[in-house]
Amino acid sequence: MKDIKEMYAQLGISSQVYDFGETILEELKPRFEAIDKNAEYNQAKVLHAMQENKISAACFAATTGYGYDDIGREKLEKVYADTFHTEAALVRPQITCGTHALAVALSANLLPGDELLSPVGGPYDTLEEVIGIRESPCSLKEYGVSYRQVDLLPDGTFDYDNIKKAINEKTKLITIQRSKGYATRPTFSVTQIGQLIKFCKACKPDVLVMVDNCYGEFVETIEPSDLGADMIVGSLIKNPGGGLAPIGGYICGTKTCVDRCGYRLSAPGLGQEVGANLGLLPSLYQGFFLAPTVVSGALKGAIFAANIYERLGYRVVPNGTESRHDIIQAVELKTPEAMLAFCAGIQAAAPVDSFATPVPWAMPGYDAEVVMAAGAFVQGSSIELSADGPIRPPYAVYFQGGLTWYHAKLGILMSLQKLVDAGIVKL
């Protein structure tokens, strides 16, 4: 049997880089054990929801056309609702991405004259056109929905005084983005989000609160829906799809909110009654079942990356010792050249398109060129090993994913190897 270092050498990892990584890993064993405990709890939670809803082989049958009486689709939505402790859920392959899921949830529950409030600063780039911050046809702004935001305080905490001032008679829905997006602010814990929800509802009891839960599912043992969120929204090609879902999104929440989302996704009067599964249900079920374990591997990769690059003098968010509330690791690399080297390493570690070189390009929905490294089985799947970022100061790259911990580990070592080879980092 070959020595493990020999195998890594075949993959392009030098002995020097490998040994540096092993030194970091030795210090992380207690944190990894805690992650495994969370994964065990979340695995039991998902399993319980599947057993309670009596999932059977009949739930995996394909439907076409209208998709009427699709028992598998209906039970999958009950599994999501039970896992996330909500009244209802909309889980559909017809939802094309996380931005689409958020757009459906917002447009379904906001009417002309209503106001949308973000108490956590600006939204993720692709939501700017949905809201109308950047002009776009069919934006909420075009349909008469106004928007305001309250920026975070300099230390990254909520500005409660100005949030209270911003909530007014027009405020219909409050949107909270859990993860950092293309920013270097902290990701919010579920407890922090719960405190913010409680504060907002004390200011206006009938206000709706939606949480963009992307990248956060199964990182903790509770979700924002456990602490008062009316809707939590995410993508199936991120955490909850477990790397198997080829497309889709979810909205879990109150029955009233989710019913409206169903009408917006399909048509008034049709709602959740239509929408064929097209044979995708086995992947959606099995992906959700595997998600807690897959997320735990991605978390270990993020912590490993934080500690590697912090030790080398780079600013990382979160830092190497902070608690984790999503799977994303931001690393401020200071130069475009370092960003490209990092992403080249992630690409070189991929099982798909490892021979490709990531280059920046103008992506729809972004105001700067973006470089993306992702050799994924599912195009754009952020739970698979990937790294991306806009080519703008502070030249931060956002690393996430890895269907297994070992693949995440290889990706980080390869990113470091490319920086060493380019002469940007010296060990």
Choose among 272, 303, 263: nearest CA to 27. Answer: 303
Query: Where are any strands of DSSP class E within 201-286?
Result: 208-212, 231-235, 249-253
Calculate mean pLDDT across residues 371-387: 95
CA–CA dist 309, 335 (Å, integer): 15
Please list the residues that pair with 116 across neighbouring strands.
Answer: 147, 173
Residues 221-238 have pLDDT tens digits of: 999 999 999 999 999 999
Whether residue 120 is found in the same domain as residue 239: yes
pLDDT for residue 160: 98
Residue numbers of the domain that contains 245: 63-280
Token readout for 202 is 């004390």
Whether residue 158 is found in the same domain as residue 265: yes
Task: Check whether 367 has a pLDDT greater than 90.
Answer: no
CA–CA dist 146, 141 (Å, integer): 6
In a domain, 212, yes or no: yes
pLDDT for residue 365: 66
- What angle (nearest 5°) sits at the alpha carbon of residue 12, between those of residues 6 and 17? 80
Whether residue 262 is found in the same domain as residue 377: no
Domain boundary at 260, 280, 300, which?
280
Task: Check whether 251 has a pLDDT greater than 90.
Answer: yes
Task: Check whether 134 has a pLDDT greater than 80.
Answer: yes
Calculate mean pLDDT across residues 336-355: 97
CA–CA dist 228, 218 (Å, integer): 17
Whether residue 274 is found in the same domain as residue 310: no
Task: Check whether 1 has a pLDDT greater than 60.
Answer: no
pLDDT bracket for residue 180 (50, 70, 90): confident
Whether residue 219 is found in the same domain as residue 71: yes
Residues 105-131 have pLDDT tens digits of: 999 999 999 999 999 999 988 899 999
Calculate mean pLDDT across residues 149-176: 97
Whether residue 296 is found in the same domain as residue 268: no
The structural domain count of the chain equals 2
CA–CA dist 376, 203 (Å, integer): 45
Give the CATH number for residue 80: 3.40.640.10
In a domain, 144, yes or no: yes
Whether residue 327 is found in the same domain as residue 394: yes
pLDDT cut 90: percent of the chain above it: 95
- What angle (nearest 5°) sits at the alpha carbon of residue 36, between those of residues 30 and 37? 95
Calculate mean pLDDT across residues 305-313: 98
Token readout for 403 is 């269907």
In a domain, 274, yes or no: yes
Calculate mean pLDDT across residues 63-82: 98
DSSP of 88-114, one letter per residue? EEEEETTS-SHHHHHHHHHHHH--TT-
DSSP of 7-65, one letter per residue? HHHHTT--HHHHHHHHHHHHTTHHHHHHHHHHHHHHHHHHHHHHHHTT--GGGG----T
CA–CA dist 300, 403 (Å, integer): 11
Question: Which has more pLDDT, 367 or 354?
Answer: 354
Calculate mean pLDDT across residues 149-157: 95
CA–CA dist 228, 133 (Å, integer): 27
Calculate mean pLDDT across residues 21-28: 96
pLDDT bracket for residue 73 (50, 70, 90): very high
Who's near 321: CB < 8 A, 6+ residues apart?
none
Q: At what angle do helices 98-109 and 255-265 cross, to 10 degrees?
A: 110
Token readout for 210 is 């939606």
pLDDT for residue 71: 98
CA–CA dist 217, 392 (Å, integer): 29
Choose among 303, 376, 293, 389: nearest CA to 21. Answer: 303
- Flag the least confident range among 48-57, 183-192, 284-293: 183-192
Question: Which has more pLDDT, 183 or 71?
Answer: 71
